């Protein structure tokens, strides 16, 4: 089989890429190791930046998101038994986030691709990518116990952190930057209406807690736990007890309990990870295959979408120029990297501010001071807000420092 762009992985990165390429008349085939039902029900991210919402809307896959997604104009930071609202909308000149499950985005994209006659091959596991330095790289995959190959002009490695594409790049061609953390997140989905209209990020002596949601009937909750905790040791009673303790306020805020659904219950290790460059020959990495951010800034899926927007534009230039234009493709990694590191910075900062690291009282007071500052200084709150809603697409951040020649009096 042959196609123009062979895409490994039907997560947000792979599906958005396939969709954007199709809109430009570029053919792709998506290979996905799981079945359709599995990826359409895999509970993961939930916060879409304005940039992501705009891209999905402008590319024609935003109808259901517009109807069912919940637009939020603020978030709450809670510590010392008190809540403090960060007014995202006012602080960013009218920007917002939309709460809409990643699996819903995946459903909408699969529907759009299949409707348009696109090819997504489910239960097809890529086992290797080869000939990356040639004009015709190949993806080898297994489907129905048989070996197959997909030849293409380019391969997009959108196969997540544990995929096959990144490890296929020869050792020495990539630089890895990594940081591990002494905690993880335990996440649940509960069949109960959210207890607050907005997301609540809580710092507590017992550890971080997050109140989020998926719909007016479904609450999504996370608590900081130990990285080697076994989910079996977390009974429903223990989970609710921790949530009540960490989210409690002096005014007696009430958290509504409900049945915990099996989908969405799990422990996610926390890490920061970047490989550079995000390209080797005709293999381009995008999304979690190239970088992982800590989830506290809600940036992972949004970064995946930002990468493939850049990749789609570069591939469009290549085909529009009669297959001669490599300019944007050559700059792909460099273009992505600036946003990736800005997102790493923000996610690391949110994580450091909101999690319990150890019993060091000095560290604890530093974190309380950081929270005090960010909730009482308008400029600090503005910094949080502009990063949380998503930095502008062109990353023109409003030039904090004037160029030297114009700064002289
Ligand atoms: P993935 O979604 O991982 O997709 C990769 C796909 O490739 C998968 O479908 C996989 O099955 C497939 N695959 C893997 N190997 C192969 C192979 N060999 N052959 C074929 N297919 C293969 N991000 C946010 O922006 N906001 C949030 O609020 C947020 N919250 C999160 C909460 C949790 C608990 C977790 C775990 C993550 C969260 N994230 C969040 C991160 C976000 O979910 C990821 O960054 C996002 O899924 C990345 O998309 P992707 O397409 O790069 O990778
Ligand atoms: C959700 C996940 C996040 O990582 C986050 O920062 C906020 C919300 C969520 O799953 O709803």
CATH 3.40.50.920, domain 2-74+97-178+271-356, yes or no: no
Give the DSSP H/E element, type plus range, for residue 368: helix 361-376
What per-residue confidence (pLDDT) applies to 408? 41
Distance (angstroms) between ligand 2 centre and the Cα of 47 equals: 6
Ligand 1: residues whose CB is within 6 Å?
Answer: 8-14, 31-34, 39, 44-47, 102, 125-126, 158-160, 163-164, 185, 187, 268, 287-288, 295, 298-302, 304
Each residue of 232-275: pLDDT tens digit? 999 999 999 999 999 999 999 999 999 999 999 999 999 999 99
Q: What sign has the CA pseudo-torsion 162, 305, 318, 57?
A: positive
Q: Among residues of the chain, what percentage have pLDDT more than 70?
A: 98
Token pair, residue 407, equals 């700064």
Q: Is the pLDDT of residue 170 over 80?
A: yes
| Domain spans, the chain | 2-74+97-178+271-356
Each residue of 361-383: pLDDT tens digit? 999 999 999 999 999 999 999 99
Task: Tell whether ligand 2 has an atom less than 6 A from the beta carbon of residue 45.
Answer: yes
Global pTM reads 0.96
Is there a cis peptide before residue 246, judged by omega within 30 degrees of 0? no
Each residue of 274-316: pLDDT tens digit? 999 999 999 999 999 999 999 999 999 999 999 999 999 999 9
Q: How confident is the model at residue 407 (pLDDT cuts 50, 70, 90)?
A: very low
Burial code of 82-115, b = ≥16 C-beta within 10 A, e = fewer? ebbebebbebbeebbbbbbbbbbbbbbbbebbee
Query: Within 13 Å of residue 174, how many CA atoms lie on the same side as its CB?
Result: 26
Token pair, residue 223, equals 């608590």
The neighbouring-strand residues paired with 385 are none
User: Residue 240, SS3?
Assistant: helix
Are 56 and 354 within 8 A, CB to CB?
A: no
* Ligand lying closest to the C-alpha of residue 45: 1
User: Residue 287, SS3?
Assistant: helix
339 contact partners, CB below 8 Å, separation of at least 6: 303, 306, 391, 395
Distance (angstroms) between ligand 1 centre and the Cα of 254 equals: 32
Catalytic positions are: 72, 201, 295, 299, 388
Task: Tell whether ligand 2 has an atom less than 6 A from the beta carbon of residue 47.
Answer: yes
- For ligand 2, mutation pick of 43, 49, 295 (most atoms within 8 Å of CB): 295
């Amino acid at each position: 089989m042959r196609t123009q762009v062979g895409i490994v992985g039907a997560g947000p990165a792979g599906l958005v890429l396939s969709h954007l390429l199709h809109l430009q008349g570029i053919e792709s085939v998506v290979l996905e190791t799981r079945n359709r039902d599995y990826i359409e029900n895999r509970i993961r991210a939930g916060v879409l930046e304005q940039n992501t919402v705009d891209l999905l809307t402008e590319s024609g896959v935003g109808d259901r998101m517009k109807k069912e997604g919940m637009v939020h104009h603020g978030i709450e930071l809670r510590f010392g038994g008190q809540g403090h609202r960060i007014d995202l909308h006012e602080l960013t000149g009218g920007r917002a986030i939309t709460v809409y499950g990643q699996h819903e985005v995946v459903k909408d994209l699969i529907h759009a691709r299949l409707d348009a006659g696109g090819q997504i091959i489910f239960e097809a596991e890529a086992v290797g990518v080869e000939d990356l330095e040639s004009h015709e790289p190949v993806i080898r995959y297994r489907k129905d116990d048989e070996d197959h190959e997909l030849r293409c002009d380019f391969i997009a490695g959108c196969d997540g952190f544990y995929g096959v594409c990144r490890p296929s790049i020869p050792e020495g061609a990539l630089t890895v930057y990594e940081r591990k953390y002494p905690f993880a997140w335990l996440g649940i989905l509960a069949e109960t209406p959210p207890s607050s209209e907005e997301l609540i990020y809580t710092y507590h002596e017992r550890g971080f807690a997050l109140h989020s949601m998926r719909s007016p009937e479904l609450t999504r909750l996370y608590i900081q736990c130990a990285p080697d905790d076994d989910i079996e040791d977390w009974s429903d009673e223990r989970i609710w007890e921790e949530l009540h303790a960490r989210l409690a306020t002096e005014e007696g805020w009430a958290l509504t309990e409900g049945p915990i659904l099996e989908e969405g219950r799990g422990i996610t290790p926390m890490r920061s990870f970047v490989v550079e460059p995000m390209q080797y020959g005709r293999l381009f990495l995008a999304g979690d295959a190239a970088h992982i951010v800590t989830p506290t800034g809600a940036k992972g899926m949004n970064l995946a979408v930002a990468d493939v927007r850049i990749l789609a534009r570069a591939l469009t230039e290549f085909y529009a120029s009669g297959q001669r234009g490599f300019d944007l493709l050559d700059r792909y990694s460099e273009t992505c990297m600036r946003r990736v590191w800005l997102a790493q910075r923000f996610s690391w900062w949110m994580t450091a501010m909101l999690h319990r690291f150890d019993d060091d009282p000095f560290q604890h007071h530093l974190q309380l001071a950081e929270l005090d500052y960010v909730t009482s200084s308008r400029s600090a709150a503005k910094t949080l807000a502009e990063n949380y809603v998503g930095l502008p697409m062109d990353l023109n951040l409003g030039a904090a420092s004037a160029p030297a020649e114009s700064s002289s009096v």
